[in-house]
Structure 1
Amino acid sequence: MNISFAPLAKVSPVHGYYSHACSDIEFMPSRSTHELLRGGRMLARMLNGELHLLYEAESPGVPLSSLAGQTLHFGLRLANPVFSNITMPVITDTTLTPLYANATLPATLDAPQGVELTAGLYGLAPKLASRPVTLRLLDAHANILETRQLAEAATSYDTRGLAPGEYRIEEDYGPGLLHTRKLFVDASLRDTGVWGLLALRIDAAFYTNAANFTLNFAVRKETLRYYVVARNWQPDEFNQLNIVDEGFSAEGRDEITFTRLVAPFPDGFIKDSLLGDSSVQIAVFQSQTEVARKERGLRKLHLSRNSTVLIEHLPLPGPERAKADFIVHLSKP
């Protein structure tokens, strides 16, 4: 007996920090998705940082068991512990969990939305103090599952009887005053410490034309600051120091220009008292625009005195650094 598997869908993380494939995300199927995959004669495999979904085919384009119309849930776990250092936040409220879903178009992921990942008893303190407030629990299809009037400060919902997936609670305070909170209920994913969620609805067309989804991550941008601490330098020589970007043309990018600042420095800078005593001279060279982090750094970002290059390639922050602050020491005998 021959067993044949065909591609159903692929999900590829793409990150502007890397010049190669991004392997920072691990895809973890929920417990209910494990059962769906088994019943649908499907495999979920990771290869080169991508999630590949395969189905057992009876014949080309014909599954042995179709999951069309079903939704698969995956937790997105960070394989890179310093992911946030190189990545712009994907949602505004970083206390929530980003959820990616193909709710609008079957073959395209929508922009992520923030949800509360929960299970068991969900405690709710309404956003406003006004009482009474009408609370409505709705499922992903906007069906109202429960309505209650709340006069107390807080309440709770027992989600153990709910199927895993998306829900929302509406807080209705009266005409024109409605607050909505989005929930994702799944005990198996809540307890694994996932960073994000993926809800992938299987469209029947995927069996004949495999879908290719992309998780796009924007690279973090920030202001570069180079603190130059010079010992035994004459003031006129020290004032001739500058940072010059001579590699922008060859690398096909915008030129980075810098502003020179002297102590006392503004709030948010390293205090000059922490950089040295009165025997040193200190200046900060701050980029005039935010600079995207890069895995390979920049070429020919020089620290120079007039036309003499002192440091040929100034560093960019590596992924382990939370801030783009560098201290450069110059010393003469």
Structure 2
Amino acid sequence: MRLRYDTLLSLRIAHAYYGGVCPDFDIVLPAETLRTLRGGRLLAKVLGGVLYVLFEADEGGAPVVSAAGAGLRIGLRLVNPYFSNYTAVPAELAAGTAWYRNGDAPGQLDAPEGRALVGAVFSRALARAERPVTVTLKDSDGQALRAETVTAANDRDDVSFDATGADPGPCSVEEDYGDGSPLTARCYIHPELQQTGVFAIVDLEIHASFYASAPAFEITFDARQDTLRYYLVVSNYSIADFEQLTVADLGADDEGRPEVTFTRVAAAAFTPGELPAALLATGDSRLVLFRSQVPVARRQRAMKKIQLSRNGDVLVEHLPQPGADQADAHLIIHVSR
């Protein structure tokens, strides 16, 4: 008997830095997801950097077993330590774990939320010094799971919760100081994924419609933008030749991108955001900076034909651009006869 599998859904991670699929993540499937896959006669495969979930179908294309109503929890573990160098990570996600789900529309992801990923036992630092304060751990429906009151007599700076036995998933910690304005922190309980150290969690509810029309979910990241700075450290040039040095972008039309224009900045006019001139040019060398007039998006494939020239003669046809391992866009170019 030949088994037939059709696509139930797919999940793609894209990044403007790469101009397509982002290779910076490993897919992590926790134990409950593996159980759902087995029970629903589903397969999970990563092909070309895209996660595909397939269902076993009968000869007419209908599912042998329907998993409609079940959930798939997917962890995304970051494997590139330089990710933040070229990624515009939203502020609300920078300090926590990104949580994605298809809650509003079955076939697309909601905007991500930043949550603190915690294990079965965790502590929460109290935000204010007033006492008493009642601290309550609540599930996603707002039902209290655990609660504790801290008074002046048993004062401390944090509260610990043992959430062993609680269902994995989103939760919240509420601090009520009795003034009618409780403080709420968003958390996510999952001991297994917390141990793995995932960057993001994707919760997908399987809808019956997926079997007829497989949704293609996508998470996208924008590239970080930096002011591009070329510091030219010039030796053995006359003043006249030094003044004729220019940096210009001649590849914009060929590559179909906006032109990058540069401002020439004398060493005496460097701002606090620039590298110290005294550390770059010593002895008889001269120094000049060419600074992009607007921030430039990082990209894996360097822009071509950003050229260093002198009086029309091209000295460097393709100036370098910051690599993934570079946290800024300060580039030092030595020029000498």
Same fold (TM over 0.5): yes
Match of 2:283 in 1: 278
Report the CA distance shift for 1:91/1:196 in structure 2 as closer, same or farther (over 3 A).
Answer: farther
2:200 pairs with 1:202: no
Q: The residue matched to 2:94 in structure 1 has which SS?
A: coil
Match of 1:74 in 2: 74
Task: Tell me the distance in 1 between the aligned counterparts of 2:62 and 2:135.
Answer: 45
Q: Which amino acid aligns with 1:85?
A: N
Q: Which amino acid aligns with 2:212?
A: T
Q: List aligned pairs for 1:84-233, cutoff 5 A.
A: 84-151=84-151, 152-153=155-156, 154-175=158-179, 177-233=181-237
Q: Which amino acid aligns with 2:293?
A: Q
Structure 2 portions without partners, runs of 5+: none
Match of 1:64 in 2: 64
CA-atom RMSD in angstroms: 2.0
Report the CA distance shift for 1:42/1:91 in structure 2 as closer, same or farther (over 3 A).
Answer: farther
Structure 1 portions without partners, runs of 5+: none
Match of 2:314 in 1: 309
Q: The residue matched to 1:161 in structure 2 has which SS?
A: coil
Q: Which amino acid aligns with 1:194?
A: V
Task: Tell me the distance in 2 between the aligned counterparts of 1:37 and 1:160.
Answer: 25
Q: The residue matched to 1:167 in structure 2 has which SS?
A: strand
Q: Deviations over 1:154-213 (max 9, x none)?
A: 211112211111111122334552322111111211111222211111122112221110
2:314 pairs with 1:330: no
Match of 1:41 in 2: 41
Report the CA distance shift for 1:59/1:160 in structure 2 as closer, same or farther (over 3 A).
Answer: farther
Task: Tell me the distance in 1 between the aligned counterparts of 2:88 and 2:287.
Answer: 31
- Comparing 150-159 with 210-219, greater Cα deviation is found at 150-159
Q: Is the contact made by 1:90 and 1:98 (CA closer than 8 Å) also made in structure 2?
A: no
Report the CA distance shift for 1:284/1:130 in structure 2 as closer, same or farther (over 3 A).
Answer: same
Q: Is the contact made by 1:22 and 1:49 (CA closer than 8 Å) also made in structure 2?
A: yes
Task: Tell me the distance in 1 between the aligned counterparts of 2:21 and 2:159.
Answer: 46
Match of 2:11 in 1: 11
Task: Tell me the distance in 2 between the aligned counterparts of 1:315 and 1:3.
Answer: 52
Once the 2 structures are TM-superposed, how far is the Cα of residue 47 of structure 1 from its aligned partner?
0.6
Match of 1:263 in 2: 267
Once the 2 structures are TM-superposed, how far is the Cα of residue 266 of structure 1 from its aligned partner?
2.5
Q: The residue matched to 2:254 in structure 1 has which SS?
A: helix
Q: Deviations over 1:121-156 (max 9, x none)?
A: 110122222222233322223333344433233211
Q: Which amino acid aligns with 2:290?
A: F
Task: Tell me the distance in 2 between the aligned counterparts of 1:60 and 1:145.
Answer: 46
Q: Is the contact made by 1:91 and 1:98 (CA closer than 8 Å) also made in structure 2?
A: no
Q: Is the contact made by 1:5 and 1:54 (CA closer than 8 Å) also made in structure 2?
A: yes
Q: List aligned pairs for 1:22-37, cutoff 5 A.
A: 22-37=22-37
Task: Tell me the distance in 1 between the aligned counterparts of 2:104 and 2:131.
Answer: 36
Task: Tell me the distance in 2 between the aligned counterparts of 1:86 and 1:312.
Answer: 24
Q: The residue matched to 2:196 in structure 1 has which SS?
A: coil
2:56 pairs with 1:52: no
Q: Deviations over 1:227-266 (max 9, x none)?
A: 1000111223212222111222232222211122223433
Q: Which amino acid aligns with 1:321?
A: Q
Once the 2 structures are TM-superposed, how far is the Cα of residue 84 of structure 1 from its aligned partner?
2.1
Task: Tell me the distance in 2 between the aligned counterparts of 1:25 and 1:61.
Answer: 32
Report the CA distance shift for 1:91/1:207 in structure 2 as closer, same or farther (over 3 A).
Answer: farther
Once the 2 structures are TM-superposed, how far is the Cα of residue 60 of structure 1 from its aligned partner?
4.2
Q: Is the contact made by 1:26 and 1:49 (CA closer than 8 Å) also made in structure 2?
A: no
Q: Is the contact made by 1:171 and 1:180 (CA closer than 8 Å) also made in structure 2?
A: yes
Report the CA distance shift for 1:158/1:58 in structure 2 as closer, same or farther (over 3 A).
Answer: farther
Task: Tell me the distance in 1 between the aligned counterparts of 2:145 and 2:75.
Answer: 25
Q: Is the contact made by 1:91 and 1:112 (CA closer than 8 Å) also made in structure 2?
A: no
Report the CA distance shift for 1:143/1:67 in structure 2 as closer, same or farther (over 3 A).
Answer: farther
Once the 2 structures are TM-superposed, how far is the Cα of residue 282 of structure 1 from its aligned partner?
0.6
Q: The residue matched to 1:46 in structure 2 has which SS?
A: strand
